[in-house]
Amino acid sequence: MLKLSWWKYLTMALLFYTLIVGLLSDVPRLDIVNESIRNLYFHVPMWFGMIIILLVSMVYAIKYLRSNQELHDIYAVEAANVGILFGILGLVTGMVWAQFTWGTFWHGDPKQNASAIALLIYLAYSVLRSSLEDEQQRAKISAVYNIFAFATLIPLLFILPRLTASMHPGNGGNPGFNSYDLDSRMRMVFYPAVIAWTLLGWWLVSLRVRFSKAKNQLRTEAHAAQSEQLIND
Amino acid sequence: MKKYLISLLFILSSISPSIAQAPEMADAMRSNGKIYVVVAVLTIVLAGVLFYLISLDSKISKLEKELKD
């Protein structure tokens, strides 16, 4: 039997909790959103997870610039990849929710537009990486880009949508801290849901990092064998 | 004779509502607009994806062990 680290069991338990309690527990009865209010447990954690994982990516980018260790670059890129995946899932789930509550898939809501721009900025990170041949140059340039990408993410998602009218709750005007009308029953599922989806994202990152490391090791071993043969010949 | 028939009809009509009533079954999965069916389906999907993730995890672990040797 495979032994998993404790946090992976925690991830699975929290995911099942989110799904079952999230669908069956009592929620506020509101017009327009109706039962779709439960999307709070599935759509919003995608964005929370994305931001946390992209923050980790940026931290590893800074670490790479300080240490020049290849492993830090691998962490940065794989975290960015999972962050992009969560962002796409957040965008698509948001579009479905918008269709049935706001009336159109693309409402042009400031937060919707800004998150699409943020995703494009991160997709450009992938394009930038694949356009650079030299490994060290690629790692260094993309680490610098990563820091700027995260720096633009914050105003795009948290500041600009608050400066204009937005359909997203807590946006348009200054929400302060306690004016979120998040029900205390919903918090009991929402916070575990955020932890669950973020940990699942981190699980994916760790698998991709381990896969990348193994691939790199194979490549360097093959290189070493090849050059040894060249010397012998 | 007629009296008997009427009383028989009377008895039958008093029974019939209990006949029309559905026999008691395990209806938990069908209640509340069958939301429990959706919960079951999503739980299965999540379990399947997590199982796949665990097997991927173990495969990578094995690969790492092989590379170490």
Q: Domain limits of chain A?
A: 6-174+182-232
d(CA A24, CA B29): 12
Answer CATH for A6-174+182-232 from 2.60.200, 2.70.98, 1.20.120, 1.10.3470: 1.20.120
CA–CA–CA angle A174, A177, A178 (5° rounding):
110
SS3 string, A33-73, reads CHHHHHHHHCCHHHHHHHHHHHHHHHHHHHHHHHHCCHHHH
**Chain A CB contacts of B36 below 8 Å:** 24
pLDDT attached to residue A168: 84
Query: Which chain A residue is nearest to residue B50, measuring alpha carbons?
Result: A12
- Which residues does A46 contact at the CB level (< 8 Å), separation at least 6? A86, A87, A89, A90, A93, A197
Selecting from A2, A23, A218 the residue whose C-beta is nearest the C-beta of B35 gives A23
ipTM (interface predicted TM): 0.73
> Tens digits of per-residue pLDDT, B5-25?
777 666 656 655 555 567 777
> Of the segments A28-32, A138-142, A157-161, which one has the largest average pLDDT value?
A138-142
Q: Which domain holds residue B46?
A: 34-69
Selecting from B35, B50, B58 the residue whose C-beta is nearest the C-beta of A2 gives B58
Q: Which residues of B touch A (CB under 8 A)?
A: 35-36, 38-39, 42-43, 46, 50, 53-54, 56-58, 60-61, 63-64, 67
pLDDT attached to residue B9: 64
Q: Is the residue at B26 inside a domain?
A: no
Q: Is the residue at B4 inside a domain?
A: no
Task: Please check the confidence at residue A162 and state whether its pLDDT lies above 70.
Answer: yes
- In our burial notation (b when 16+ CB lie closer than 10 A, e otherwise), range A34-54 reads eeebbbbbbbbbbbbbbbbbb
Q: Are A125 and A100 in contact (CB under 8 A)?
A: no
Q: What percent of chain A has pLDDT over 70?
A: 94
> Tens digits of per-residue pLDDT, A26-72?
888 888 888 888 888 999 999 999 999 999 999 999 999 999 999 99
pLDDT attached to residue B13: 62
**Number of domains, chain B:** 1
